A and B are shown apart, each in its own frame.
Chain A
Amino acid sequence: AQTVTQSQPEMSVQEAETVTLSCTYDTSESNYYLFWYKQPPSRQMILVIRQEAYKQQNATENRFSVNFQKAAKSFSLKISDSQLGDTAMYFCAYETSGSRLTFGEGTQLTVNP
Chain B
Amino acid sequence: DTAVSQTPKYLVTQMGNDKSIKCEQNLGHDTMYWYKQDSKKFLKIMFSYNNKELIINETVPNRFSPKSPDKAHLNLHINSLELGDSAVYFCASSRRTSGAYEQYFGPGTRLTVT
Contact = CB atoms under 8 A, between A and B. Distances in A.
> Chain A, interface size: which category?
20 to 34
Interface stretch (B18-26, B73-81, B93-101): B93-101
Interface in A36-78: 39, 42-47, 50, 52
B97 A50 contact: no
Contacts of B56: 98, 100
> Chain B, interface size: which category?
20 to 34
A43 B44 contact: no
Interface in B45-100: 45, 48, 55-56, 88, 90, 92, 94, 96-100
Contacts of B31: 99
A102 B98 CA distance: 13
A68 to B, nearest CB: 14
Interface of A: 32-33, 35, 39, 42-47, 50, 52, 89, 91, 95, 98-103, 105-106
